[in-house]
Structure 1
Amino acid sequence: MVSTATGALARGTHEIVVDGVRQVFHVAGSGPVCVAHSGGPGIAWEYLRVPALERHLTMVYLEPVGTGDSGRLADPRDYRLEVYARFLHEVIEYLGAPRVFVLGHSHGGFVAQRYALDHPDRVAGLILFGTSPVTGEEFWGAAMAEVGRFPERHPGRPEASGVADAFQEALAAATDEDYTTSLRRILPLYFADYWAHAEALAPMRDGLRAWIDPMRGEEPAPFDVRDALGSIAIPTLVVAGAHDFICGTRWARMLHDGIPGSRLTVLPDSGHMGHLEEPEAFTRAVAGFVRESAQAER
């Protein structure tokens, strides 16, 4: 393994090699170590950066394999949760900290759950943000129903009427460029009120990059760890946006009810991107959880 910066937790960009494939990650901030895995799958890591958290934590942001400057897998069928979790594990091992906090957003939350179940001894605390313990027909059916209702929620926005078609285009995109373009069009779906923050979000939207995961996030069988949640003894924080169309409070409460002693924070004015819509509340919830978990361990 090699790194482009001196010291595994030195601020800046780092690179290791896992089974001949490049894995890039970025370190910022100070405090307890928190490794963040972004969602998608296939979305560039930058949207998940939370500078306010970096005042409390040493944030380690992965560029998931298959995205950004990280390498690509030779076999497209290898873009599976167990592989994402293995790359996450190699980064955590490289960091050298006895245990770290793991924050997973959306599909990254699936990776985080898989990792916590497989390597509980390496996780000081688990932060499951905008995610679910299960996918499958019911999960996707509920999400698509919310996509269909989106124009009704924003009757004064003509742009909202085209979001459902753009969502289907994103699912069918054949190139990285088409996928990125479609995601920028459907970005309002991921917010309680995108237009209330449109000016502030413009740089993020314009810089959004995405790469097609050939597996489209699908496993040989739908993701489902509900029966295993009771075995998670790690301190866990579940964060959800009240208006999240895809991983909303229904799924968050399922996580909360299934993981003993977990804490649930619902952001009332957020969709799937609560760290952008309610950054102060998000930071307060995560930083407070980490602080209290660290104190309880002493």
Structure 2
Amino acid sequence: MEPIVFIPGLLCTEILFAPQLGAFSDHPVMVADHRSHESIAAIAQAILAAAPERFSVVGLSMGGYIALELVRQAPGRISRLALLNTLARPDTPEQTEHRERLIALANDGKFDRVAPALFPKFVAPARTGDETLRETVEEMAHETGPQAFIRQQRAIIARIDQRPNLAAITCPTLVLAGEQDQLMPVEVVREIHEGIPASRFECLPGCGHLSTLEQPTDVIRILKDWITC
């Protein structure tokens, strides 16, 4: 079975992929650590140093930024690519300003406010009262910690525009969006699909940003199809 590298999003850990890791237990799997570097390029280089020679990659949100950088740096090592709830565009000034405010909270000893502030945007509106999901997001944030969160935000702010590189991607690629994703609207996720020749696009109805936790069964089904195509 081909190895799969899972890359979590901002403020997320391997818990983000807990249902999928169980479903793919017959594959060699690795969950990438993206907490120690301040650039997407450096994170990708560290993953390539630790990963098998050739592997499939699944990235959600920030993990998608990193996945696109992996295939840019080492296209011959990536056999399949799954980009979940992510985009290829660089940060907008408004997004950067918001990130700087969250960094300031973390620097001021108020990191405990970050996850509660982000949670309503992380999930579909109907899930904002889901206490189990809220606790999961807060657990991942606690495990990440303020300094790693700041490094992740700095890396995201400085990321490059990957849109000019999409046409060069030739491996089987899945692009997945959540219909109610408030952070990565369907149209900007679809832009990746439109840029990658022969990629497959899926949109999950009623799903927010954390698709792997909100609709784990559907995501597993789609990934199972992707890994065998």
TM-score by length of 1: 0.66
1-side partners of 2:108 and 2:15: how far apart?
17
1:83 corresponds to 2:42: yes
1:183 corresponds to 2:115: yes
SS in structure 2 at match of 1:200:
helix
Once the two structures are TM-superposed, the CA of residue 139 in structure 1 deviates from its matched residue by 8.0
Partner of 1:125: 80
Q: In structure 1, which of residues 191, 194, 205 is the aligned counterpart of residue 137 of structure 2?
A: 205
Whichever structure has more helix as a proportion of its residues is: 2
Partner of 1:232: 169
- Structure 1's unaligned 5+ residue stretches are 1-30, 67-72, 74-78, 145-166, 293-298
- Structure 2's unaligned 5+ residue stretches are none
Once the two structures are TM-superposed, the CA of residue 262 in structure 1 deviates from its matched residue by 0.3
SS in structure 2 at match of 1:102:
strand
Q: In structure 2, which of residues 218, 222, 227 is the aligned counterpart of residue 281 of structure 1?
A: 218
Report Cα offsets for 1:128-169 as digits up to 9, x if no partner: 11111112338849xx8xxxxxxxxxxxxxxxxxxxxxx885
Q: In structure 2, which of residues 192, 195, 220 is the aligned counterpart of residue 255 of structure 1?
A: 192
Partner of 2:227: 290
Is contact 1:44-1:63 (8 Å) kept? Answer: no
Partner of 1:195: 128
1-side partners of 2:2 and 2:61: how far apart?
23
Report Cα offsets for 1:77-98 as digits up to 9, x if no partner: xx11110110111111xx3xx4
Once the two structures are TM-superposed, the CA of residue 207 in structure 1 deviates from its matched residue by 1.3
2-side partners of 1:172 and 1:216: how far apart?
16
Once the two structures are TM-superposed, the CA of residue 50 in structure 1 deviates from its matched residue by 2.9
1-side partners of 2:48 and 2:6: how far apart?
12
Partner of 2:60: 105
Change (3 A) 1:137 1:168: closer
Report Cα offsets for 1:68-120 as digits up to 9, x if no partner: xxxxx6xxxxx11110110111111xx3xx42111111111111101101211
Change (3 A) 1:134 1:58: same
Moved more, 202-211 or 263-272: 202-211
Equivalent positions of 1:30-49 (< 5 A) are: 31-40=1-10, 43-49=11-17
Q: Larger relative CO (CA 8 A, sep 6+): 1 or 2?
A: 2
SS in structure 2 at match of 1:174:
helix
TM-score by length of 2: 0.84
The code of the aligned residue for 1:114 comes to: E
Aligned pairs, how many?
219
Change (3 A) 1:223 1:48: same
C-alpha RMSD of the superposition: 2.6
Change (3 A) 1:262 1:235: same
2-side partners of 1:128 and 1:185: how far apart?
25
Once the two structures are TM-superposed, the CA of residue 65 in structure 1 deviates from its matched residue by 3.4
Change (3 A) 1:32 1:177: farther
1:114 corresponds to 2:72: no
Change (3 A) 1:176 1:231: farther
Is contact 2:91-2:156 (8 Å) kept? Answer: no
Equivalent positions of 1:131-210 (< 5 A) are: 131-137=86-92, 140=95, 170-175=102-107, 178-192=110-124, 193-195=126-128, 198-209=130-141, 210=144
The code of the aligned residue for 1:64 comes to: H
2-side partners of 1:256 and 1:138: how far apart?
24
Equivalent positions of 1:258-269 (< 5 A) are: 258-269=195-206
Change (3 A) 1:247 1:138: farther
2-side partners of 1:206 and 1:65: how far apart?
16
1:65 corresponds to 2:3: no
SS in structure 2 at match of 1:49:
helix
2-side partners of 1:228 and 1:216: how far apart?
19
The code of the aligned residue for 1:50 comes to: A
